[in-house]
Chain A
Amino acid sequence: MEYLVTIDEFHGPLDLLLYLIKEAKIDIDRINVSEITQQYLDYIRAMEDLNLEIASEYLVMAAYLIYIKSRMMLPKGNLDGEKIDYEENPEEHLKRRLKLYKLFKDIIPYFQEQEAERENFLTKIPSDLSDELKIETKDFLLQDVDIYDLLSAYNRVLKRFSLHKPLKTKIKPQTITIDERINELSELFRNRKRLTFMEIFTDNITKEFIVVTFMAILELTKHHYIRLRQDALFQDIFIEYIEEEMREAHG
């Protein structure tokens, strides 16, 4: 029999024992403590041979297993004297500890499923309505909160942060065509007949966006949809929308 494991794969001696029992494919109720003890000790010895640090709790368990084993080898009643009548036999005690521990180990997949399930539902940060509702500063007082509410608030924010962080990096600069830009500009002129050159460059300006906008302006000028005007050198350039009925005259 050969197995490849490391001590940090286990969360303590009970975990290691459960692993050995599972490997041996037997019920906790039916384990032969002598056999399990041997495997457990082999494991610990191999660790020692490799000069690995073993948490003392693993050694305590080893001693306990040896105690159970030796006790079983002696004629009943001799080791504990009269105590045996009312005190649980250590082998049974160990089995029960294993069963109790296994109860929680077995429920872990449920928690993992629930953890994954919750991640399917995204929620948003609460909206700030303090402006709309004109809430007074004095009403802004905190009530019944303690330092752990503060910690919880911090954790909530952290969780949200990791939710939002990639947003900016994930979005590639949008490529925009001249036609699309012409449409956008036409939309703009529907509401305002006169705009300055700077006003049509809104947020997220990229070099590409400027070039496309420039081409769109030239295109619109060419077709007499707009007129460009600059009163003096380095002054604002005005873009004026030409009303439909006026276009004929220019055309």
Chain B
Amino acid sequence: MFSRMLESGLYDFFFVFIFFIISIALSLIMVTFNALIGPSFMGEKRTDTYESGMAPIKTAWMQFGASYYLFALIFLAFDVDVLYLFPVLLIYQRGAGFSELIELILFLFLISLAVVYAWRKGVFIWR
């Protein structure tokens, strides 16, 4: 089974598969081990939301301002920005010349244009 996978080019995805398995196993172990060895204290207010000692007056499931949503969008723009920096590491292995740096800066500049556009549109001013 292993050799057939080699020729069919799935070899690279084998590592992704292992990575996936390890991450699931790790989280499962942590949760079950914790439940097994730790004592549990279940008072009746244990599952209430913590609001500095008082009972929360209203449920938080309600309408809230659109500005929160826009802030989340801006964060997303920067997050994608950082995500793309991971493959950049591979390029640096080959030849850390000056041209790679220029490419990187150009790439970052293009991505951050989205944030500048949002800034001009006044997303950051809370209304």
To the question of whether A and B form a pair in one complex, the answer is no
Residues of chain A whose beta carbon lies under 8 Å from any beta carbon of chain B:
none
